[in-house]
């Protein structure tokens, strides 16, 4: 039976936070307000991007590599808006992500380097929206969960990383976004403007900034309404 959602729940007690996303602008959409709150409270919040969203353009004059360069630059500016530090790119191609040992190796390496208390990522099991969620989201979420437990924890996974000084690390919680079964709702009224400003840094993905501002305010309000919150983001939280 699904646990009831905890409205306006406390932010995770974390000094180091890592968000792992499939594409640029995924983070802003689903957890930008919450990460901004964590950064404002002193947490070191960093990001790993699995792909650069290199297929995310309708402009036939640009190559995939040019799109990737542009979108990584947009993500870096968005991160600055929200107070994030560190942007790591794992080098996979947009729409071609597979749940491989090599991908898990890359993710474990980032976890062992950053040593986060909490990891934010896509929910791979209870997906929102259903049926049409980008396949990269599903695959990244599953790979992250497997990397967090047990791989990052156990020294016999990827011992070459340990030999290079990346010691095993235990993550205490995973906060999964884009979930159809949330257990936690966070009040982001104080950081909604920052969330929207960060999303607007992705100019290549924005045809109408004013329409986006309006739709994102409406969406945050709709998410918060069941919990009597002016604006919210929701998560499924797993304790490890």
Tens of pLDDT along 14-56?
A: 999 999 999 999 999 999 999 999 999 999 999 999 999 999 9
Distance, in Å, from the CA atom of 65 to the CA atom of 233, rounded to the nearest integer, reads: 32
Helix, strand, coil percentages for the chain (3-state, nearest 5): 45, 20, 40
Instruction: Tell how far CA 72 is from the center of its chain.
Output: 15
Percent of the chain, pLDDT > 70?
97
Q: Domains in the chain and their CATH numbers?
A: 16-239 (3.40.50.10320)
Tens of pLDDT along 49-97?
A: 999 999 999 999 999 999 999 999 999 999 999 999 999 999 999 999 9
Cross-strand partners of 187: 232
Residue 99 predicted with pLDDT over 80: yes
Angle between helices 192-200 and 64-82 (to 10 degrees): 160
- pLDDT average, residue stretch 1-12: 65
Distance, in Å, from the CA atom of 47 to the CA atom of 102, rounded to the nearest integer, reads: 19
Q: For the chain, what is the mean pLDDT? A: 96
Q: What are the tokens at 155?
A: 């020294």
Tens of pLDDT along 134-165?
A: 999 999 999 999 999 999 999 999 999 999 99
Instruction: Tell how far CA 213 is from the center of its chain.
Output: 20
Fill in the DSSP letter of residue 126. S
């Amino acid at each position: 039976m699904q646990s009831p959602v905890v409205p306006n729940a406390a932010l995770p007690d974390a000094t180091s936070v890592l968000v792992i996303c499939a594409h640029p602008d995924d983070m802003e959409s689903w957890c930008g307000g919450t990460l901004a709150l964590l950064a404002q409270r002193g947490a070191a919040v960093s990001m790993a991007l699995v792909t650069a969203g290199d297929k995310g353009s309708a402009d036939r004059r640009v190559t995939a590599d040019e799109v990737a360069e542009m979108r990584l630059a947009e993500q870096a500016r968005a991160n600055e808006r929200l107070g994030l530090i560190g942007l790591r790119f794992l080098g996979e191609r947009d729409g071609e992500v597979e749940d491989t040992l090599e991908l898990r190796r890359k993710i474990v390496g980032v976890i062992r380097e950053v040593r986060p208390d909490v990891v934010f990522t896509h929910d791979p099991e209870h997906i929102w929206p259903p049926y049409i969620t980008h396949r990269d989201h599903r695959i990244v979420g599953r790979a992250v969960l497997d990397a967090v437990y047990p791989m990052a924890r156990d020294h016999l996974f990827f011992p070459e990383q340990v030999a290079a000084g990346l010691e095993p690390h235990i993550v205490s919680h995973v906060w999964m976004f884009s979930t159809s079964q949330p257990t936690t709702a966070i009040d982001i009224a104080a950081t909604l403007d920052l969330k929207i400003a960060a999303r607007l840094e992705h100019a290549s993905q924005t045809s109408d900034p004013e329409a986006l501002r309006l739709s994102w305010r409406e969406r945050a309000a709709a998410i918060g309404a069941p919990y009597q919150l002016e604006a919210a983001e929701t998560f499924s939280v797993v304790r490890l």
